[in-house]
Amino acid sequence: MVFKDSQLNMYEHSQAKIELLSTYMDRYLNIINSAGYYSDVIIYDMFCGQGIYKNGGKGSPIIFLERVKKIHYDTKAKGNDPVKFHCYFNDKDEEKIEKLKSSINENNLYYPDFGQLELTTDDYREILERGINNFRSFSSEKGFVFIDPYGYGEIKAEDIKRLLQTGNSEVLLFLPTQNMFRFVKKGTPECLQEFISELVPESEWPESNTGLDFIETLVQKFRAFLDEQCFVDSFVIARGVNQYFCLFFFTSHIRGFEKMLESKWKIDEEEGRGWKFRMGSDLFAEVEKTPKINRLKDGLINFLQSPRINAELYEFGLTNGFLPTHVKAVLQSFQNDGLLEVRLKDGTIARKGAFYVNYENYKKIPDRVRIRLIK
């Protein structure tokens, strides 16, 4: 089989994708491992590739196994028992699977104590159905699916919905949105056009002036297509002006969503939005020049016209792409200006800076304080 150069060597934009995956899995696997109520983590990489590229770049299956190995031995060193991590790596090209197998063995990345490891050469739809059936049997397990296809003829939006319906899984999907943007320009490849049309009929798709506009619309359409309890976000990878790849993240669990946002903000400390090819000009300047924290401030001004409990503020920040630390910073600025009233459940004034906007209070005491802007 003849491979494209991008399938043999890791390009810079692919490295950005892997960096996000790596950063997120560090957080995700550690949380699952220490949570105390998951027994197993099942990871599916449905188009896994050869593992290590000709230029030395590490692909997704190597990233998964490196993280699993580290967590396993770190947990053991603390005298605790790690959860079992079961990895299912699939690529229909046998040559790539053989190379991956060699890389795993040469680098000592897998031992049976970690959990199961299966390398298969099945068609995408076969491994998809196997994963869905596996997830349906979950009781104390957690699933993660990475979909980074070579082509997009087989991928359907309905696949994401079915993978998420168990409530115990998360999905990371890589899409070439620079090609999908042609959808509004009537030039999208047919397979991508069919994928988008699942979300909304072509005649109803709003006009997008830029690739970033299109990505934001796609996120909104995914949210409408999926169950309202599902969280959806994107990580933009820019190759040039209006030339974007994009990772879309899907989960029904708000804690996993927060960890993904943390990963994004670690990579893009200014905007928490994405990665751009190292060029002289700012590829995002054409769309947005105002720091994103100002957008959060404007949103909170409207949101706090009515009293809100701490759980509502936690969720508001995350669904708008911001971390609890950002929300607390804006609330602190309002409070310093004498514009904020914060009361405990018994009606008394809370101490200054006590907003309780975090996951722990979201789960345990969602109405610990009630916050409103003073008009």
pLDDT value of residue 3: 45
pLDDT tens digits in sequence order for the chain, 375 residues long: 434 444 444 456 567 788 888 888 888 888 899 888 899 999 999 999 999 877 778 999 999 999 999 999 999 999 999 999 999 999 999 999 999 999 999 999 999 999 999 999 999 999 999 999 999 998 889 999 999 987 667 788 999 999 998 888 999 998 776 555 554 555 555 656 777 778 877 777 667 667 677 788 888 889 889 976 789 988 887 766 566 778 899 998 999 999 999 988 888 887 777 665 443 334 444 444 334 678 899 999 999 999 999 999 999 999 998 999 999 999 999 999 999 999 999 999 999 999 999 999 999 999 999 999 997
- Tell me the domain boundaries of the chain: 5-276, 292-373
Q: Which of 253, 237, 254, 365 is nearest to 311 (CA)?
A: 365
Query: pLDDT tens, 324-370?
Result: 999 999 999 999 999 999 999 999 999 999 999 999 999 999 999 99
pLDDT value of residue 127: 96
Strand pairing report for 40-45 and 141-147: parallel
Contact 247, 234 (CB under 8 A): yes
To the nearest 10°, the Cα dihedral for 281, 286, 287, 290?
70
Instruction: Give the span between the Cα atoms of 338 and 340, in whole angstroms.
Output: 6
Residues 5-276: name the CATH superfamily.
Answer: Vaccinia Virus protein VP39 (3.40.50.150)
- The DSSP 8-state label assigned to residue 150 in this structure reads S
Instruction: Give the span between the Cα atoms of 320 and 322, in whole angstroms.
Output: 6
Helix 324-336 with 292-303: angle, nearest 10 deg: 70
Query: pLDDT tens, 273-304?
Result: 766 544 333 444 444 433 467 889 999 999 99
| CB < 8 Å & 24+ apart, contacts of 92-95 | 92/121, 92/122, 92/123, 92/124, 93/1, 93/121, 94/121, 95/1, 95/50
Q: Which amino acid is at 270?
A: E
pLDDT value of residue 281: 39
